[in-house]
């Protein structure tokens, strides 16, 4: 492989890695990191803190990419930007520069992949038609890769939130029925469930922060449902808002919703278990049956061949 081709592949891989790192949702917010540093002693902080040179180099690279992102990003209307922010929020990406970085990653990946494909096909002395087809195809495919990555992250995060909802509702039911208010229950769930279910706990903390800033509870819960994009949370929010509007018991409503969530989770597990036998047919036919036929019929075939030769 020529050195120029190798260098181009390495540069493309590094660019993709930085783009994925820039779009990757952060586990904790900046305020949480500050609280953890303030709560720990200086010796532990010095022990686990990265070296200044490494931290400075990462910061410089990320800041350079963020500065270049608005120039590389394709222009979008206000409605399209709002939809993009909703998709990023569903994936846990709430950075102010998130949409610009995402759009810039699409342009950068598409142009880099198209340029690399053009260079490789030109070096291979292919026909002009083939060069154009390969370049356009690879460029368009690379342009769509950030969308695929974003959809995969949002789907994975939604699945985790769905699995965590029943346990969080059980805890909320206990708190509400023991006399705690709904706002305080949301705050406690966001704090206590941070370790086992960080995604849903983060959403509850955001909803609690919105209520502390003066937003009505119903509106904060609607924002929670819109951010996650999970159907179960949307149904839960609609039920809770309706119960508050008609004066029904919140604790009883939450208990019913919790039981419904557990039933749905059990049904989904049973459905997945039922599909296992069908999914096993493909590897069984392609890999296990041929090996079994060789083991069982191989000696008889060898004996038959040797007998016929004699």
3-class SS letters over the chain: CCHHHHHHHHHHHHHHHHHHHHHCCCCCCHHHHHHHHHHCCHHHHHHHCCCHHHHHHHHHHHHHHHHHHHHHCCCCCHHHHHHHHHHHHHCCCCCCCHHHHHHHHHHHHHHHHHHHHHHHHHHCCCCHHHHHHHHHHHHHHHHHHHHHHHHHHHHHHHHHHHHHHHHHHHHHHHHHHCCCCHHHHHHHHHHHCCCCCHHHHHHHHHHHHHHHCCCCHHHHHHHHHHHHCCHHHHHHHHHHHHHHHHCCCHHHHHHHHHHHHHHHHHHHHHHHHHHHHHHCHHHHHHHHHHHHHHHHHHHHHHHHHHHHHC
> Measured in whole angstroms, how far is the alpha carbon of residue 305 from the centre of its chain?
58
* pLDDT value at residue 31: 40
In a domain, 287, yes or no: no
In this structure, the answer to whether residues 70 and 105 fall within a common structural domain is yes
Number of domains within the chain: 2
In a domain, 230, yes or no: yes
Number of Cα atoms under 13 Å in the Cβ half of residue 227: 20
* pLDDT value at residue 19: 54
In this structure, the answer to whether residues 130 and 84 fall within a common structural domain is yes
In a domain, 206, yes or no: yes
In a domain, 286, yes or no: no
∠ at Cα 230 (224, 236), nearest 5°?
65
In a domain, 279, yes or no: no
In this structure, the answer to whether residues 10 and 130 fall within a common structural domain is yes
Please give the residue range of the domain that contains residue 209: 159-271
Q: What residues contact 18, with CB distance under 8 A and at least 6 apart?
A: 61, 62, 65
pLDDT in tens, 52-107: 555 555 566 666 656 666 666 666 777 787 888 888 888 888 877 778 888 888 88
* pLDDT value at residue 28: 44
Using CB atoms within 10 Å of the CB of residue 230, give its burial: 0 to 12 exposed, 13 to 18 middle, 19+ buried.
buried
In this structure, the answer to whether residues 129 and 169 fall within a common structural domain is no
In a domain, 304, yes or no: no
In Å, how far are 27, 73, 186, 280 from 201, measured between CA atoms? 11, 32, 9, 37
The token pair at 204 is 């509850």
Q: Which of 117, 135, 154 is the last residue of a domain?
A: 154
Answer yes or no: are the C-beta atoms of 241 and 218 closer than 8 Å: yes
Q: Which of 137, 154, 171 is the last residue of a domain?
A: 154
In this structure, the answer to whether residues 58 and 172 fall within a common structural domain is no
In a domain, 294, yes or no: no
* pLDDT value at residue 137: 92
* pLDDT value at residue 229: 84
In this structure, the answer to whether residues 141 and 203 fall within a common structural domain is no
CATH number at residue 207: 1.20.81
In this structure, the answer to whether residues 258 and 118 fall within a common structural domain is no
Distance (Å, whole) CA 169 – CA 245: 20
In this structure, the answer to whether residues 131 and 55 fall within a common structural domain is yes
Q: Which of 154, 186, 221 is the last residue of a domain?
A: 154
Answer yes or no: are the C-beta atoms of 164 and 198 closer than 8 Å: no
In this structure, the answer to whether residues 142 and 214 fall within a common structural domain is no
CA nearest 205: which of 191, 222, 223, 221?
191
In this structure, the answer to whether residues 116 and 209 fall within a common structural domain is no
In this structure, the answer to whether residues 141 and 238 fall within a common structural domain is no
* pLDDT value at residue 66: 63
In a domain, 288, yes or no: no
The token pair at 174 is 């206990």
In this structure, the answer to whether residues 190 and 170 fall within a common structural domain is yes
Give pLDDT tens digits along the chain (310 positions): 454 444 555 555 555 555 555 555 544 443 444 344 434 444 344 444 444 555 555 566 666 656 666 666 666 777 787 888 888 888 888 877 778 888 888 888 888 888 998 888 888 888 888 889 989 999 889 889 888 989 999 999 988 998 888 888 888 888 888 888 888 888 888 888 888 888 889 999 999 999 999 889 889 999 998 888 888 888 888 988 888 888 888 888 888 888 888 888 888 888 888 888 888 888 888 888 888 888 888 888 888 888 877 6
């Amino acid at each position: 492989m020529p050195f120029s081709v190798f260098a181009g592949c390495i540069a493309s891989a590094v660019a993709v890695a930085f783009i994925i790192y820039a779009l990757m949702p952060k586990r904790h917010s900046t305020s949480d990191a500050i609280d953890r540093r303030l709560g720990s002693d200086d010796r532990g902080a010095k022990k686990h803190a990265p070296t200044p040179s490494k931290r400075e180099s990462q910061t410089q690279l990320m800041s350079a990419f963020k500065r270049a992102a608005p120039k590389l990003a394709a222009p979008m209307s206000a409605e399209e930007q709002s939809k993009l922010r909703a998709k990023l929020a569903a994936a846990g990406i709430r950075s102010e520069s998130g949409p610009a970085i995402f759009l810039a990653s699409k342009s950068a990946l598409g142009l880099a992949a198209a340029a690399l494909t053009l260079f490789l096909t030109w070096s291979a002395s292919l026909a002009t038609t083939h060069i154009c087809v390969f370049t356009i195809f690879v460029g368009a495919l690379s342009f769509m890769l950030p969308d695929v990555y974003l959809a995969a992250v949002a789907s994975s995060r939604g699945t985790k939130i769905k699995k965590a909802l029943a346990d969080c509702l059980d805890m909320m039911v206990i708190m509400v029925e023991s006399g705690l208010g709904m706002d305080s229950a949301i705050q406690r769930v966001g704090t206590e469930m941070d370790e086992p279910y960080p995604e849903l706990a983060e959403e509850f903390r955001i909803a609690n922060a919105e209520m502390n800033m003066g937003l009505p509870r119903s509106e904060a819960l609607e924002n929670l449902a819109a951010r996650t994009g999970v159907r179960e949370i949307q149904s839960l929010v609609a039920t809770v808002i309706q119960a508050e509007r008609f004066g029904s018991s919140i604790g009883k409503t939450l208990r019913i919703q919790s039981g419904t969530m557990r039933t749905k989770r059990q049904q989904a597990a049973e459905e997945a278990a039922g599909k296992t036998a069908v999914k096993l047919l493909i590897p069984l036919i392609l890999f296990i049956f041929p090996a079994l036929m060789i083991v069982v019929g191989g000696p008889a075939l060898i004996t038959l061949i040797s007998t016929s030769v004699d």
